[in-house]
Structure 1
Amino acid sequence: MFFAMPMVSNRDIIHDLGPNDTEEDIENYVLRLENEMELGTRTLKSISKSVDTLIQKAKKKPPKNLLKLVERSTGFEGVLSFDSDEVQPLLSVKFLNNWSLPIVTLTCVARTLPNICTDTVDSLFNSVCEGLFYTFLVDENLNNDGEAKNIHIATRILWHEVEVTHKWLGNTLQRIDFREKSPRETLKWYSDKAEEVINKSDTDYKLENSQNKLIAANSMYRITQTIMRKYPGSEHISEEQLFALLSDMIGSIVVACLTNLPRVIAMKCHGSTIEEREASVRAAAKILGSTKMIIERLQARELPSLAPDQMACIDEWRAYLKQSTP
């Protein structure tokens, strides 16, 4: 029921080279342009050298905080447990899930737990900052049609607010403001604020600004309600336990999402013109170089036996995990 994550895409953009083909400065992989015979030999060599240089430079600057998060994560339980079907919807419409939105939502709650060591909170936040760069890439390249595009836009707007202004839908996220609250009271505060937004905006959900707020509020409401309902002991849960729970969920979702990176890298090697393909290959080279260690670690994981399009969708993962859970 499981398979190893493929390093080679269906379109053979990422090639595993044999020892006879490997140049000194390319260790394992080379990115080739589609229809490379369209290019002159000199141009192709120049591009190959440039790509290799980008890979090597990017390898020297891996996302270290993200790598730590990946190494701490041991399973995919959080992909399923962050949202429960037992939570009754408040909205007249149902929004899809994407990879990035629950990560942002969970991070908001974790970041405001007042008695967790500042270094620990900052470490998680830095991991999320680095991780979202790649989860946004997955959402943008593999889940960006129709309603999914609206979810992606709303998530980016929300993350900008959280990261830059330290607010969630206009509410300041200062840890000192939560010091008198128990962990459950913190969860309820977020849930109540989300419900207020939903009740005010549901009738105008087709308006862009209202829709963005609804998407963010719906995510927060469902996640906080899920934790309070699914973990009845949260009445007495400690901040450390809640922070660990939130961190585990974040790690599970990030790792599951990152299994799609090889496919994103492959897709970026294609463009409608030679010029676009060159730019895309260089972008792919940077991603490949910076995430090489992460991809190597993910190769050792057992993954759901889903088709590539299903692997790209968090709701498909959730459906699979529901069937696999006793």
Structure 2
Amino acid sequence: MVAKGKGKDYYKSTYTHEQLWDMLQVGDDWRVEQAGSIWTTAASGMKAAREEMAVHVTTLRTQWTGAASDEFQGRMSIVEEYSIESENGMKRTGEVTMPDLAGYLRSAQTDAQGADLYPSSTETYDEWLESQDIDKTKPEYETKKVQYQQQYEQYLDQRHETMAQIVADLGDRYARVREEDFAEPPPPSDMPGNTTYQAPTGGVFADSGLSNSNDVPDAPGGSDSSVSGDTSGADGIVGTDDDLDPVDSDWTPARTTTSTTAVSPAAAAWSPAAVAATSAAWAAAQEPRASAGPASPVRARACSVRRAAPRPSAAARATLPAAARAARALPARAPLPVRAVAVRAADAAA
């Protein structure tokens, strides 16, 4: 169904001829067209934001792999697709729709002026009689006076109706544009708000994926409430050697393989990727000490892992200088606390 405005009858019954004229002529078609630049600027901003997001997602994917990373990238690709649609819509509005609206207004104003519907051009009763070659001094005027007055009212009504029709036609055009170009589109497929969206039923993106702290013994609200969120060591100071006190149990890292080539436990445990992952855990464990707020379940888990992690054996410690160099070589874009903790962890353990 084609969108319609309020219609001629509405404008005629609601506004006088003079009011309709003023409403129409006050419109500035140049300003309407220039408003399109706002939309084209917004489109450029949308493109820049999308390109920056893509760079960050690509960088993140070089350091983060697995199911959660795949899910994240999939969702970001949907956002990217939606941003492209939004950018194209903004460009179309700025380059086509707004100039069209300005053209509709300009045409309506021209039509009203071309029909000589200026309020100042509306004839008075005497002017109308004169234009119709009717002489009020003649005897027949009195016999046809009522008829002449009715004809004059019809003249006024016709001008009013013509003016209302021009405004109504403009309203119809605006209504179509509003429905076709300014209607809010639904979110992309598989995004919240779209009828095709299905919420995840498993993994960390499920409703209960991150809400249960009972499976983390050291987490606030968990079954073990005796563990404090303070992990700053015996001296209570962040960043000192006692934070790395050895544990009693032996250090026996798991053996890993790549293809058919065996990798030594020490090399596997202290590869650059492992150092980066360990540094993130150290940073998470350190963070509660610098915050007045309670530790989160994630931070508490990191603290628990840190307390339980045994000290490397002598053979493994021999590989730690290389780990320290790898830690220092972490990307410059990595958060400073992560890089600093990674370097300190490798140096102190060595």
Query: What TM-score do you get using the length of structure 2 for normalisation?
Result: 0.19
- Larger relative contact order (CA 8 Å, sep ≥ 6): 1
Determine which structure has more spread, i.e. the larger CA radius of gyration. 2
Query: What TM-score do you get using the length of structure 1 for normalisation?
Result: 0.20
